[in-house]
């Protein structure tokens, strides 16, 4: 059956749009043009049409924490955000640190995921010990211990050497635990006002600096998760200047918020790394603009409201983000002319897909019909009661945004549809 998406607007260059009809058959775009006809027609009425987004950092919590999220709920939430390819972190229970445990997750993905989900394998057993997983035997696209840093240079060196020989990336949550001192919030202004233990920037940046030197030695593709501090951006910039194969991501929340946005000791603002100072936020925005930071990823980290209802000391770190990442970035950066629509889409799809060799849609004849449609006109207040995620732990509740997703297709199949036709 031929599906026609009529009257969409695609980006030509910068913020310039052009009206287009797209014909899809058997999961592939078969024609682009005007006045196209087919058995099923959806009128997009001038909404933005683009290739689906790619988010390489999400937590789907299955197996082990399925009260927070499942592969089914997390993938539906992704579709609702216009995200058609995601990469799921291995801080599950059990950790998928053997080929058997890894395959068990693959089986759930195969059965339940409505988007293209890629599962990470861990670097070490249980994420904690000093024993590398059998990296050769693991059928994963990349390795990471996200949730905890790799604490010793020696084990990072072994992991990078092996990953380089397998031509697979090492993806790093950088956090030196010997510098943590029980911190729960950025060591800056707000933690002092609220009387909470701080997390220094060097907790992150010193490990990034270490890893970049080891990456240089081993030649591995080294990717830094959720960069938060100015010194980290500087270290990555210097690594790139020296030709090290280092890439980095930043989250929408670290780009949009800083420590001064934390109104009180409310754990809904608690995440790792923490919201940092204004200078750090500025450095992240500049780093993304000049290519030091390669792309945007959400670090969608679902937790129950019960766990998040108290203060910073006891709650787990993490916030959700996959359903609103595009709208928040569009509203805070494109609408304010701080970046173009073309740049944003590139940093939320093309670049992560290219750097990690992941599938993504392309709006051209023969392109896979992984497609997202966004409403750039209608203003909408973020309301976590509407989320398809099982979790609602977002600091952006009530934020007014434009650019909510209206329709998502994966391989030409509708996986999310939000507007009357």
Ligand X SMILES: NC(=O)N[C@@H](CC(=O)O)C(=O)O
190 binds, among Zn ion, ligand X, none (CB under 5 to 8 A by kind): none
Smallest gap from Cβ 335 to Zn ion, in A, equals 28
| Binder among 21, 62, 146, 249 for Zn ion (CB under 5 A) | 146
Rounded Cα distance, 402 and 169, in Å: 35
Question: Toward ligand X, which CB reaches closer, 74 or 367?
Answer: 74
Does the footprint of ligand X cover residue 271 (CB under 6 A)?
A: yes
Does the footprint of ligand X cover residue 151 (CB under 6 A)?
A: no
| Binder among 96, 147, 321, 367 for ligand X (CB under 6 A) | 147
Q: Which stretch binds ligand X (CB under 6 A): 38-46, 131-139, 282-290, 313-321?
A: 313-321
Tokens of 214: 């080891």
Known catalytic residue: 299? yes
Rounded Cα distance, 253 and 396, in Å: 9
Tokens of 107: 């089986």
- Closest by CA to 20, choosing from 11, 362, 28, is 11
Q: Is the previous residue joined to 55 through a cis bond, with omega within 30 degrees of 0?
A: no
Does the footprint of ligand X cover residue 74 (CB under 6 A)?
A: no
Q: Any idea what the Cα angle at residue 251 is, between residues 64 and 133, rounded to 5°?
A: 45
Does the footprint of Zn ion cover residue 173 (CB under 5 A)?
A: yes
Token pair 């006109």 is found at 377
Q: Which stretch binds ligand X (CB under 6 A): 94-102, 130-138, 314-322, 338-346?
A: 314-322
Question: Toward ligand X, which CB reaches closer, 237 or 303?
Answer: 303
Smallest gap from Cβ 95 to ligand X, in A, equals 12
- Closest by CA to 120, choosing from 151, 142, 148, is 142
| Binder among 239, 318, 352, 395 for ligand X (CB under 6 A) | 318
Does the footprint of Zn ion cover residue 249 (CB under 5 A)?
A: no
Phi and psi angles of residue 258, each rounded to the nearest 5 degrees, phi first: -140, 180
For the segment 48-67, give every residue that binds ligand X (CB under 6 A).
Answer: 59
Tokens of 406: 């209206």
For the segment 271-310, give every residue that binds Zn ion (CB under 5 A).
Answer: 299
For the segment 199-228, give every residue that binds ligand X (CB under 6 A).
Answer: none
Tokens of 144: 């990471």
**How deeply is 363 buried, as exposed, middle or buried, from its count of CB atoms within 10 A (0-12, 13-18, 19+)?**
middle
Which of these is catalytic: 299, 370, 375, 411?
299
- Closest by CA to 24, choosing from 350, 361, 358, 357, is 361
Token pair 């956090």 is found at 175
**Residues that bind ligand X in the complex, under the rule CB under 6 A:** 59, 91, 146-147, 173, 271-272, 299, 301, 316-318
Provide the annotated active-site residues. 299
């Amino acid at each position: 059956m031929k599906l026609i998406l009529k009257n969409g607007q695609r980006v030509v260059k910068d913020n310039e749009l052009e009206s287009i009809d797209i014909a899809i058959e058997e999961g592939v775009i078969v024609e682009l043009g005007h006045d196209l006809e087919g058995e099923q027609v959806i009128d997009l009425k001038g909404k933005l049409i683009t290739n689906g987004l790619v988010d390489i950092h999400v937590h789907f919590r299955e197996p082990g924490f399925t009260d927070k999220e499942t592969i089914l709920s997390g993938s539906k939430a992704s579709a609702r955000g216009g995200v058609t390819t995601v990469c799921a972190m291995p801080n599950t229970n059990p950790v998928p640190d053997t080929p058997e445990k890894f395959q068990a997750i693959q089986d759930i993905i195969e059965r339940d995921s409505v988007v293209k989900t890629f599962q990470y394998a861990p670097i070490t057993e249980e994420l904690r010990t000093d024993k590398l997983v059998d990296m050769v035997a693991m059928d994963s696209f990349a390795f990471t211990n996200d949730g905890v840093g790799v604490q010793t240079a020696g084990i990072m060196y072994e992991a990078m050497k092996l990953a380089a020989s397998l031509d697979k990336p090492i993806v790093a949550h950088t956090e030196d635990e010997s510098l943590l001192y029980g911190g729960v919030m950025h060591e800056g202004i707000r933690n002092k006002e609220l009387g909470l233990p701080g997390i220094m920037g060097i907790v992150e940046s010193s490990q990034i600096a270490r890893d970049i030197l080891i990456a240089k030695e081993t030649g591995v593709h080294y990717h830094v998760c959720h960069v938060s501090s100015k010194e980290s951006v500087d270290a990555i910039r210097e690594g790139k200047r020296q030709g090290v194969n280092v890439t980095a991501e930043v989250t929408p929340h670290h780009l949009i918020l800083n420590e001064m946005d934390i109104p009180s000791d409310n754990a809904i603002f608690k995440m790792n790394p923490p919201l940092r100072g204004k200078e750090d936020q500025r450095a992240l925005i500049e780093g993304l603009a000049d290519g030091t930071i390669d792309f945007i990823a959400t670090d969608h980290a679902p937790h129950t409201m019960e766990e998040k209802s108290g203060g910073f000391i006891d709650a787990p770190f993490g916030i959700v983000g996959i359903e609103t990442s595009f709208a928040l970035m569009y509203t805070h950066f494109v609408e304010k002319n701080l970046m173009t629509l073309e740049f944003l889409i590139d940093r939320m799809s093309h670049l992560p897909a290219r750097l990690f060799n992941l599938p993504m849609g392309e709006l051209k004849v023969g392109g896979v019909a992984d497609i997202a449609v966004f409403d750039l006109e209608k203003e909408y207040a973020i309301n976590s009661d509407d989320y398809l995620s099982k979790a609602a732990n977002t600091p952006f509740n009530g934020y007014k945004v434009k650019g909510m997703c209206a329709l998502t297709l994966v391989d030409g199949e509708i996986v999310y549809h939000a507007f009357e036709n």
